[in-house]
Amino acid sequence: MTYRRNFLKRAGYTTISALLTTGFLQKDKQNENHSIDAAMANSISGNTPLRQLAAAKGKRYGTAISSDILLKEKDYANLIARECSIATPNGELKWNATEPQPGKFTFESADAIADFCRKHKMELHGHTLFWHMAKPDWVPYPPTLKMIERHVKGVMGHYRNSPVLKSWDIANEIIADNENETDNATYGLRRGVKPELIRDLFLFAASVDSSKKFYLNDFGIEGATWKSDRFLKMIEYLKNKGVKIDGAGIQSHLWFSTAYAFDEKGFKSVLKRLNDLEVKPVITELDIIIDTPLPDSIKKLDQMVADSYKRYLDLCFAAKVDTVITWGISDRHTWIRHPDWIPGKTFRDNPQLHRFLRPLPFDENMKPKLARNAIAQAFRQAVP
Ligand code: G3I
């Protein structure tokens, strides 16, 4: 039996939705072991927490986490504590949350997450110091260097001695969605952003706290695209300037479908170029949407999501990726179902299709899905 499943683009959460990654999963003799079927799912993983399976291979598994849900929903907190060895705040470390007024910093909600991590022996990944979204109205884009310095000093300084926070997305999504949205052909930066500003941001961050890992984080780089090429050039630029940059955050908001091909070769070349640059690839925001045409049952959809996870993680682990963070843990809270963020015109126009948005490893009742087993199996099969 030969059939194709897979992946494509990326959620359109900016006003102009960007087509990002393309690729395919082909279930045939050559790569049959990437898929996960129900029988196999039942026989693997059992009750072993993902964090334990990951740790056995020197890796970490985690999720984006929201402080308000943590307080309200015990099953959510329990599941994260059980399954995860790393977390990243969904919004609590963004500029609008940490410095809502100029120079007035608040860390209550981010600290609640840091405390939870400490209690449950989890690492915290800091997201993010610089982004064109989730910023207060008084902050322009790009912010002035003075604003950046005060912000970086305030936020990084607060976590300088944190026992759990070990890494930062120093800058998030600085590469434009396409060549029409940049005034910088070489690096493809969002309009108004100069490479020197990003260099200075990283340099300043290093002067505040160089003990943490520094990442440049972006989406749409999971294949050989205009965007991934600019992203890699920007990393190369930072390295050439002698700037500390340890990791590339590959967000991995992925779309798979029967209609598109996954650019496996292109993604491998991205991973190889990162390796050549001595910058570690880190999977920072993984979730998977199955694009139309949709299968005729949720069971089949969950199978497709699981197969997609498995195939993608097999590629990542072959390139020695050691950190996988999904953007949420259960479909109950996925950003993809939030009315503001429903992705793609087809889903936006057809509310009856929203039940097919099942991008995460656990379902609405915090029960493991096939995707959870696929992640478990990928960790089990990974070469340490
Ligand atoms: O907390 C308020 C709540 O009080 C209010 O009732 C509700 C009304 O809609 O809004 C809630 O805040 C929302 C917040 O998420 C928490 O759910 C904001 O409106 C909403 O804009 C915010 O969106 C987040 C977005 O980043 C902007 O910060 C998404 O949850 C979050 O998933 C998304 O995360 C981004 C990453 O940072 C970067 N990569 C892409 C990823 C997905 O867009």
CATH code: domain of residue 281: 3.20.20.80
Note whether residue 104 is domain-resident.
yes
Give the whole-angstrom CA distance, residue 343 versus residue 81. 29
Distance (Å) from CA 10 to ligand 1 centroid: 17
Note whether residue 54 is domain-resident.
yes
**Domain limits for position 46:** 7-381
Write down the residue that tokens 């099953």 correspond to.
75
Number of domains, the chain: 1
Closest CA to 338 of 42, 127, 90: 90
Note whether residue 342 is domain-resident.
yes
The reply to whether ligand 1 has any atom less than 6 angstroms from the CB of 312 is no
CB of 92 closer than 8 Å to CB of 113: yes
Note whether residue 2 is domain-resident.
no
- Give per-residue burial for 49-80: e unless 16+ CB within 10 Å, then b: bbbebbeebebbbbbbbbbebbeebeebbebb
Closest CA to 129 of 162, 65, 174: 174
| DSSP three-state, residue 299 | helix
Mutate to test the pocket of ligand 1, among 335, 336, 337, 341 (most ligand atoms within 8 A of CB): 335
Distance (Å) from CA 16 to ligand 1 centroid: 18
Give the whole-angstrom CA distance, residue 66 versus residue 60. 19
Along the 384 residues of the chain, how does pLDDT read in single tens digits?
A: 222 222 223 333 332 222 233 333 333 333 445 665 555 554 444 689 999 999 999 999 999 999 999 999 999 999 999 999 999 999 999 999 999 999 999 999 999 999 999 999 999 999 999 999 999 999 999 999 999 999 999 999 999 999 999 999 999 999 999 999 999 999 999 999 999 999 999 999 999 999 999 999 999 999 999 999 999 999 999 999 999 999 999 999 999 876 556 789 999 999 999 999 999 999 999 999 998 889 999 999 999 999 999 999 999 999 999 999 999 999 999 999 999 999 888 899 999 999 999 999 999 999 999 999 999 999 999 998
Note whether residue 370 is domain-resident.
yes
Distance (Å) from CA 91 to ligand 1 centroid: 6
Relative to the CA of 285, which ligand 1 atom is closest? 39
Write down the residue that tokens 């990437």 correspond to.
34
CB of 5 closer than 8 Å to CB of 23: no
C-alpha pair distances (Å), 117 with each of 101, 135, 164, 323, 330 = 27, 25, 7, 16, 18
Note whether residue 1 is domain-resident.
no
